[in-house]
Amino acid sequence: MRIVALVPGGIGDQILFFPTLDDLKRIYPDAQIDVVVEPRSKAAYRVSKSVHEVLLFDYQDRNSLADWANLVGRLRDREYDVAITTTNTWSEGLIIWLTGIPTRIGFRGNGSLFLTHAVPVKTEQYLTNMYHDLLNGLSIQSPCPELTVNVPTPDIDWATQEQIRLGIKDTGYVLIYGGSGYCDSPKGQARMYPAKSWKQIIQDFQQKQPDLPLVVVAGANDEAFIKSLLSLVPNIKVSSPDNMGKLAAMIAGANLMLCTHSPALHLGVGVQTYTLALFGPTEPAKLLPESDKFLGIKSPTGKTEDIAPAEVLKQVWGG
């Protein structure tokens, strides 16, 4: 069987789709599973264990008819048996219909006319569960598996050397991911938590747990954030993993991660590290599974920057 999934969205959207891909691979172990994602999201598949090939298409671009026709041709040439789209838009429904793929699955909506199986969309649940509902179109009724990631061995080795470099190999550490989530869009910037607020949290940790190091992650677009934080807390340790595997490995080694709404929080879930995540307008229940290991704090105003450091520390120390 040859399966292709069209998954628009950022890195976080891809990671949340991993359990669906993993369940497909479990049920059809000999299947070839490919995905069509935006160029900005390809990085997520470094930590996927179920995908054969990642095809690129910029869904957000002003694509011409020729661009769409090229995508249709690429998919048609590969002779897929099943196509799954994570959206319910008219355009993507039309695209997979034009490919001639016999089994076409997506959410019920504007594009249902072009699907062979339209699945009701239940947006109120954890998004991995929502995506997994798409497998009902293949008569798969199994529970959604836990989100897991597959960290390549070279990335684990890099993280080990990085911990040695930072002097934290034998002490444990708290990881802080406060940047833009490898996203330079306005949405990514809006999810950042101010350096002055992180300063209060870091200083409280240093007072209460002076022997537990804190490490701040410098993401791909976080130069200004890191510079600002270092001006306020000059002695903070900084790590700069340059791919999702290295970031996942650093998260896996942490005692606790404090983060914003970013790919880091999904990686934290995937490696089962205790995670406290800060959210703006998004409901934490949509992005975090029910578990004592994962806690979300939602801003009272819908802006991440308005979460009080005291509220974060209250959740950390259980006060």
Cα–Cα distance measured from residue 78 to residue 186, given in angstroms and rounded to the nearest whole number: 36
Selection from 237, 229, 234 nearest residue 254 by Cα: 237
* Per-residue pLDDT tens digits for 28-84: 999 999 999 999 999 999 999 999 999 999 988 888 999 999 999 999 999 999 999
Say which DSSP state 144 is in. Answer: P
Cα–Cα distance measured from residue 96 to residue 102, given in angstroms and rounded to the nearest whole number: 9
Cα–Cα distance measured from residue 198 to residue 232, given in angstroms and rounded to the nearest whole number: 9
For residue 85, what pLDDT band results from cuts at 50, 70 and 90?
Answer: very high
For the record, the structure tokens of 245 come out as: 């595997």
Q: Look up the pTM and report it.
A: 0.94
> For 87, phi and psi rounded to 5 degrees?
-115, 180
Is the pLDDT at 186 greater than 60? The verdict is no
Mean pLDDT on 199-224? 93
Q: Are 218 and 128 in contact (CB under 8 A)?
A: no
Cα–Cα distance measured from residue 98 to residue 193, given in angstroms and rounded to the nearest whole number: 44
Is the pLDDT at 24 greater than 90? The verdict is yes
User: What percent of the chain shows pLDDT beyond 70?
Assistant: 96
Mean pLDDT on 201-223? 93
Is the pLDDT at 219 greater than 70? The verdict is yes
Which pLDDT belongs to residue 25? 97
For residue 307, what pLDDT band results from cuts at 50, 70 and 90?
Answer: very high
Strand (E) or helix (H) holding 159: helix 153-166
Largest CA distance in the chain: 63
* Per-residue pLDDT tens digits for 134-164: 999 999 999 999 999 999 999 999 999 999 9
Is the pLDDT at 115 greater than 60? The verdict is yes
* Per-residue pLDDT tens digits for 7-21: 999 999 999 999 999
Mean pLDDT on 252-265? 96
Is the pLDDT at 167 greater than 90? The verdict is yes
CATH code that applies to domain 153-317: 3.40.50.2000
Exposed (0-12), middle (13-18) or buried (19+): which is 44, by Cβ within 10 Å? buried
Is the pLDDT at 248 greater than 50? The verdict is yes
Which pLDDT belongs to residue 182? 46
Taking all residues of the chain, what is their mean pLDDT, rounded to a whole number? Answer: 93
| Residue in the block written with tokens 């080694």 | 253
Give the CATH superfamily of 2-138: Glycogen Phosphorylase B; (3.40.50.2000)
Where helices occur in 78-148 by DSSP H, the ranges are 90-98, 127-132
CB atoms within 10 A of CB 45: 20
* Per-residue pLDDT tens digits for 233-246: 998 999 999 999 99
Where helices occur in 40-124 by DSSP H, the ranges are 65-77, 90-98
Domain with CATH 3.40.50.2000 in the chain: 2-138, 153-317
Which pLDDT belongs to residue 238? 97
Which pLDDT belongs to residue 111? 84
Q: Are 51 and 45 in contact (CB under 8 A)?
A: yes
Which pLDDT belongs to residue 187? 57
Which pLDDT belongs to residue 318? 85
- At residue 273, what is the residue type? T
Q: Is 193 helix (H, G, I), strand (E, B) or coil?
A: coil
